[in-house]
């Protein structure tokens, strides 16, 4: 896991097994909005592990970005699992993958993805997509619900 953040900072969780893609997105986020942190994990299981490790009252990511093709748990399975937890319902999730077939888009939307972007080849397209990702981050990130004291 790269770029661990303080829980008081606004951040995006990005799951992608391709190190070069992680590095490119980190670089672009630093250019577009240096105040926002990107927490990178290599697969869906690690993304879920990160979410489950957050403690009561801690900020959730303002956005989750998932690649589709990952080992151990792909992006669609990860999305299904995220959406099965009430505490994660308010986190916007975008798919960001090399493929963008109509069936992949339909399945992702069915399971609650708010958008689906095809990984770009050029820097300008990546900058545009990064700006769109930033637009999905709310001003106040959702928090892990505090446990009842009863």
- Domain at 70, CATH number: 3.40.50.2300
pLDDT value, residue 149:
46
Residue 99 DSSP label = -
pLDDT at 120 > cutoff 90: no
**What's the total number of domains in the chain?**
1
Residue 75 neighbours by CB under 8 Å, 6+ apart = 15, 44, 66, 67, 68, 69, 95, 97, 108
**Distance separating alpha carbons of residues 19 and 68, to the nearest angstrom:** 15
Q: What is the pLDDT of residues 98-118, one digit of tens each?
A: 877 888 889 999 999 999 998
Residue 149's closest CA among 58, 47, 57, 80? 57
CB 78 within 8 A of CB 15: yes
Residue 147 located in a structural domain: no
Instruction: Say if 34 falls within a structural domain.
Output: yes
More confident residue, 62 or 100: 62
Range of the domain at 72: 11-136
Global model pTM greater than 0.85: yes
- The pLDDT of residue 49 is above 90: yes
């Amino acid at each position: 896991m790269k770029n661990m953040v303080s829980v008081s900072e606004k951040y995006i969780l990005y799951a992608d097994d391709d190190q070069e893609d992680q590095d490119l997105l980190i670089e672009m986020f630093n250019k577009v909005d240096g105040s926002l942190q990107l927490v990178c994990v290599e697969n869906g299981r690690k993304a879920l592990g990160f979410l489950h490790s957050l403690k009561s009252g801690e900020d959730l990511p303002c956005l989750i970005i998932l690649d589709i093709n990952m080992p151990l748990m792909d992006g669609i399975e990860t999305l299904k699992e995220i959406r099965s937890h009430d505490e994660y319902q308010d986190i916007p999730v975008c798919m960001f993958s090399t493929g963008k077939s109509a069936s992949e888009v339909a399945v992702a939307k069915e399971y609650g993805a708010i958008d689906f972007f095809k990984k770009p080849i050029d820097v300008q397209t990546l900058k545009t997509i990064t700006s769109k990702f930033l637009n999905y981050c709310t001003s106040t990130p959702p928090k892990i619900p505090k446990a009842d004291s009863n």
